[in-house]
Amino acid sequence: MTTGKLIVLTGPSGVGKGTLVRSLLARHPELYLSISATTRTPRPGEVEGKDYYFLSREQFEALIHSDNLLEWAEYAGNYYGTPKASVIEQIEQGGLVILEIEVVGARQIKQTFLDALLIFILPPSVEELERRLRGRGKDSSAAIEKRLKRAVEELAVADEFDLQVVNDNFEVALEEIETAIFAVNSKS
């Protein structure tokens, strides 16, 4: 049986990770998206078990203490993490598993899954990232400033990852990611 692969997409908030992942899944239904857990409040339209598993802080901390998360981090006052069991099961069955996670979590994965493909999504510029964050209309000005400060810190570690993709032309960025995923998988 072929062993699967773990593929991590990371980068600052607002670079388009979610949009890229949705397009990847639409084009490649064989990909399995791992659903993250979080303690943040659902945004309008988000669905439990589809967008995230929405947990209380106590529930999330229980997962941490029982070692049932592949990675986890606290970001913007909330916990985010990846439940372990379904990811391991999919990889053991030969699946290609996509994680769309924060940079802190991606760095944890790098330490524990040595053969994971780690892809860092970059904005064309910090100014464009700010425009995108403000354009979403989801965060206060203070929250956007906090996200931008964190983004600059995260951009400084982009070269730690296997591939850096600048999301300035969506179709080109998507094709770069597809090439990396399927080239790596064909070598397995």
14-43 pLDDT per residue, tens: 899 999 999 999 999 999 999 999 999 998
Instruction: Write down the architecture of domain 5-187 according to CATH.
Output: 3-Layer(aba) Sandwich (3.40)
Domain residue ranges of the chain, discontinuous segments joined by + = 5-187
| CB proximity list for 57: less than 8 A, separation 6 or greater | 39, 79
> pLDDT higher for 185 or 174?
174
Secondary structure E strands in the chain: 5-10, 31-33, 37-38, 53-54, 69-75, 78-83, 96-100, 117-122, 163-166
- Could you tell me the pLDDT band of residue 2, with boundaries at 50, 70 and 90? low
Q: How confident is the model at residue 147 (pLDDT cuts 50, 70, 90)?
A: confident
Question: 90, 33 in Cβ contact below 8 A?
Answer: no
Convert the pLDDT of each residue in 51-85 to its tens digit.
Answer: 899 999 999 999 999 999 999 988 778 999 999 99
**Whole-Å CA distances, 79 to 24, 63, 142:** 26, 11, 19
Answer whether residue 1 shows pLDDT above 60. no
Write the pLDDT tens digit of every residue in 89-108: 999 999 999 999 989 999 99
